[in-house]
Amino acid sequence: MGSRMARRLLAAGYSVTGFNRTKEKAQWLLAAGMKWADSPRAVAQSSDIIFSMIANNSALHAVTEGNDGILAGLSREKTYVEMSTVSPAAIRELAKQVEIKGAEMLDAPVSGSSITLDEGKLSFMVGGKREIFEKVLPYLQAIGPKATYVGDHGLAAAMKVATNLSLAVQMLAFSEGLLLAEKSGIARETAVEVLLNSVVASPMVKYRGPFVLNMPDEAIFNVNMMQKDLLLALEMGRQLDVPLPTTAITNEMLTTTRAMGLAEKDFAILFEALGRMAGMKNV
């Protein structure tokens, strides 16, 4: 996701300096005009607006802290935009550290995938100061057309977790309906077609539902990443006294999927895990 975002900023005419732990993976961006920095700190020092997109809380600490971290390169007049799906508490703590450096911060996680990003349909939810949101808005819209301000630091992260829990829950419900139809004697392809043209066909179901017929070799969003988000949701639910029964059940199904050795597959592989449990031989 981060590399594709950098490509869209380059295509919009912005000067982009980037860092990735594995430089070879960034070669195509360097060929497209991106400048290379040797550390997150160097990126922050050379840029007015700094974006990060990483996997989880521990990765966020790795790119922000220490002598080579983003925080070490921040100063007044700089703005740091953190776009990952991490805990609201981690975002609020990071925002305090950014403020100490005299810089500004937004948390701006995204709704969508590499598919929606490439189609120019990605959307942002953004937390922080509204005036900083307005300042950064043109850069966000170069990546995706829709950005919604949701409030103070950490609230965008909370909104993202609240959004993402539905993705896996929907995929599990879709799989249940599909397997029920197939075991009744309806061809899988036919059942998929019916479901994708029914009222249950959310945008996520429309682009991920066909994966049950042809699972991509490279996961768009794998089981481990999806379960990370559900665990964030369950922890928020515990803290806020919000029961999340379908999230809890779906989380257990993701654990089942991991136990079957399918952790690196796209989380649409929930269909296969449930199919095995249903005794299906051709999932």
- Token pair for 5: 């975002």
- Structure confidence at residue 119 (pLDDT): 85
Instruction: Please indicate, yes or no, whether residues 135 and 32 belong to a single structural domain of this protein.
Output: yes
130-153 tens-digit pLDDT: 999 999 999 999 999 999 999 999
Q: What is the CATH number of the domain that holds 249?
A: 1.10.1040.10
The strand pairing partners of 105, in sequence order, are 80
143 and 10 within one domain: yes
270-277 vs 245-259: helix crossing angle, rounded to 10:
80
Give the mean model confidence (pLDDT) for residues 35-55: 96
| Active-site residue, selected from the candidate residues 160, 183, 265, 281 | 160
Mean pLDDT to the nearest integer, 185-194: 98
Supply the CATH number for residue 10's domain: 3.40.50.720
Of the candidates 102, 275, 47, the residue with the CA atom closest to the CA atom of residue 172: 275
> What's the pLDDT score for residue 115?
82
Q: Which band of pLDDT confidence, cut at 50, 70 and 90, is reported for residue 281? A: confident
Residue 215 is assigned to a structural domain of this protein: yes
pLDDT score, position 62: 94
Write 128-131 long-range contacts (CB < 8 A, 24+): 128/95, 128/104, 128/152, 128/153, 128/156, 129/104
Q: 13-17, 77-81, 203-207: lowest mean pLDDT where?
A: 203-207
SS3 of 148, please? Answer: strand
pLDDT at 211: 97
Q: What percent of the chain has pLDDT over 90?
A: 91
Statement to judge: residues 35 and 135 lie in one domain: yes
pLDDT class for 183, splitting at 50, 70, 90? very high
In DSSP terms, 110 is beta-bridged to: 124
Comparing 54-58, 82-86, 171-175, the range with the smallest average pLDDT is 54-58
Which of the pair, 1 or 214, is modelled with greater confidence? 214
Given pLDDT bands bounded at 50, 70 and 90, which one contains residue 227?
very high
Domain count, the chain: 2
Q: What is the mean pLDDT of residues 192-208?
A: 96
Q: Of 91, 118, 153, which residue is a domain's last?
A: 153
Q: How far is CA 66 from CA 51, 70, 72, 146, in A?
A: 18, 8, 7, 34
Helix/strand/coil for 177? helix
Query: Tens of pLDDT along 64-120?
Result: 999 999 999 999 999 999 999 999 999 999 999 999 999 999 999 999 888 888 888
Rounded distance between C-alpha atoms, residue 277 and residue 63, angstroms: 40
For 212-241, what is the mean pLDDT? 96
User: Where a domain ends, among 153, 172, 198?
Assistant: 153
Helix axes 88-100, 155-183, angle to 10 degrees: 150
Q: What range does the domain containing 39 cover?
A: 2-153
What's the mean per-residue pLDDT of the chain? 96
- 160 is known as an active-site residue: yes
Residue 282 within any structural domain of the chain: no
Handedness of CA 28, 29, 35, 39 (dihedral sign): negative
- Reported as a pLDDT band with limits 50, 70 and 90, residue 258 is very high
Q: Identify whether residues 129 and 19 lie together within a single domain.
A: yes
| pLDDT at site 118 | 85
Q: Residue 196: pLDDT band by 50, 70, 90 thresholds? A: very high
pTM: 0.91
